[in-house]
């Protein structure tokens, strides 16, 4: 199997997981209880030892193949091609950092890496100076990568909307998702306090 195929397949699997993860974050708009309830249900699947190992392997394949493809790229091409490449590079960085942070939280700090683990970094000064752009760029890069791939593969208009406009729409959705998640995780509708054990 060629490295592009590996990257594509691992990307599809990862996109499903990230999509569910972002959906869970969006539920913070409706309160922490709903967020945690859905998270617990999702964990029955992705915290299963077999699924978890597969996900870790997929992340490794995605990062390795993505970096290899980045260095083998000679022509960047139009804007969305450039966006696909550079957003992919940031996603590789983010995946390494994020997975490492989750593993450290679970096995070294021994805390539940739940709502408060992520929200802590966004709400506590001065760590939020790092985590706001760190998470914001991750969400935008995820949608930007999808927009870039869509642009490169889509050859025709849909309902009169050109491939360029379609990719722009994907980016706009990404911006809205980012804003909504940040609102939910930073004392949005519900208001909350970060427990002491998450003041890391």
Residues whose CB is less than 8 angstroms from the CB of residue 103 and which lie 6 or more positions away in sequence, other chains included? none
Distance CA 26, CA 182 (A): 9
pTM of the model: 0.93
Question: What are the domain boundaries of the chain?
Answer: 3-198
What pLDDT is stored for residue 1 in this prediction? 67
Distance CA 185, CA 192 (A): 9
What pLDDT is stored for residue 77 in this prediction? 81
DSSP string, 114-174: SHHHHHHHHHSTTTHHHHHHHHHHHHHHHHHHHHHHHHHH--S-BTTB-HHHHHHHHHHHH
What pLDDT is stored for residue 64 in this prediction? 95
What pLDDT is stored for residue 76 in this prediction? 76
Q: For helices 32-46 and 3-26, what crossing angle results, to 10°?
A: 150
Please give the structure tokens belonging to residue 118.
């992520």
Written as tens digits, the pLDDT of the chain (200 aa) is 689 899 999 999 999 999 999 999 999 999 899 999 999 999 999 999 999 999 999 999 999 999 999 988 877 788 999 999 999 999 999 999 999 999 999 999 999 999 999 998 898 889 899 999 999 999 999 999 999 999 988 888 888 889 899 999 999 999 999 999 999 998 655 568 888 888 86
Reported as type and span, the H/E element at residue 90 is helix 79-107
């Amino acid at each position: 199997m060629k490295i592009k195929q590996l990257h594509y397949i691992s990307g599809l699997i990862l996109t499903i997981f990230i999509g569910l993860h972002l959906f869970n974050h969006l539920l913070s708009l409706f309160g922490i209880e709903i967020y945690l309830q859905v998270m617990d249900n999702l964990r029955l699947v992705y915290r299963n030892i077999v699924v978890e190992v597969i996900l870790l392997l997929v992340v490794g394949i995605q990062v390795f193949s993505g970096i290899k493809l980045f260095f083998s790229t000679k022509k960047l091409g139009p804007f969305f091609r450039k966006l696909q490449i550079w957003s992919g590079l940031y996603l590789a960085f983010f995946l390494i950092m994020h997975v490492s942070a989750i593993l450290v939280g679970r096995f070294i700090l021994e805390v539940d890496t739940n709502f408060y683990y992520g929200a802590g970094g966004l709400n506590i000064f001065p760590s939020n100076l790092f985590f706001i752009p760190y998470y914001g760029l991750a969400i935008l890069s995820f949608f930007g990568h999808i927009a870039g791939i869509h642009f490169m593969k889509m050859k025709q208009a849909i309902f009169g909307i050109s491939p360029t406009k379609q990719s722009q729409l994907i980016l706009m959705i990404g911006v809205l998702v980012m804003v909504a998640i940040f609102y939910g995780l930073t004392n949005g509708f519900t208001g909350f306090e970060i427990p002491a054990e998450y003041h890391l």
